Amino acid sequence: MKFAADRMLGKLARWLRLLGYDTIYFNEICNDQFLALAKEGRILLSRNTRLKDKVETERFLFIESDDFRAQLQEVFGKLALTPDPEKFFTRCILCNGALEPVEASNVIENVPDYVLTAHSKFSRCNRCRKVYWPGTHVTRSLDEIERLFATRKST
């Protein structure tokens, strides 16, 4: 499943990417261009009430909440999605590119020395070339995912 998020949903877009979903995000885009993305098979995500009233596609999801946690639960609930841990951390949260495994020797120039001594697994975005590794941010993100979706299961 692929998404397109408008400027009101930047944090949601980053979290969808973190969860492994192809999610393009636009800080600036006209409504007609945004709506045209549905023809590419993307689910459109927006909090724009004016856009909601003129949409003529089933591929549009109006997001009610302004809290990213509730937004994620809303998307997963309305679309009956289930988080797939195999897809977590497979997309760049900055540009949406695919992350590919890379040897530590190929990222020496891109990461601090202490990271190289503490970690052996690295991934690099095939688009913007940002390097990722399983640091404490991964643990915190996984804890947040667990809280979000454990709560959803119990409701």
pLDDT, mean of residues 124-134: 95
- Is there a single domain that holds both residue 109 and residue 73? no
Domains held by the chain: number: 2
- Is there a single domain that holds both residue 9 and residue 71? yes
CATH code (residue 39): 3.40.50
- Is there a single domain that holds both residue 70 and residue 111? no
Number of Cβ within a 10 Å radius of residue 61: 19
Q: In this structure, which amino acid lies at residue 137?
A: H
Q: What is the pLDDT of residue 151?
A: 53
- Give the structural domain span for 150: 99-154
Percentage of the chain exceeding pLDDT 70: 97
Percentage of the chain exceeding pLDDT 90: 72
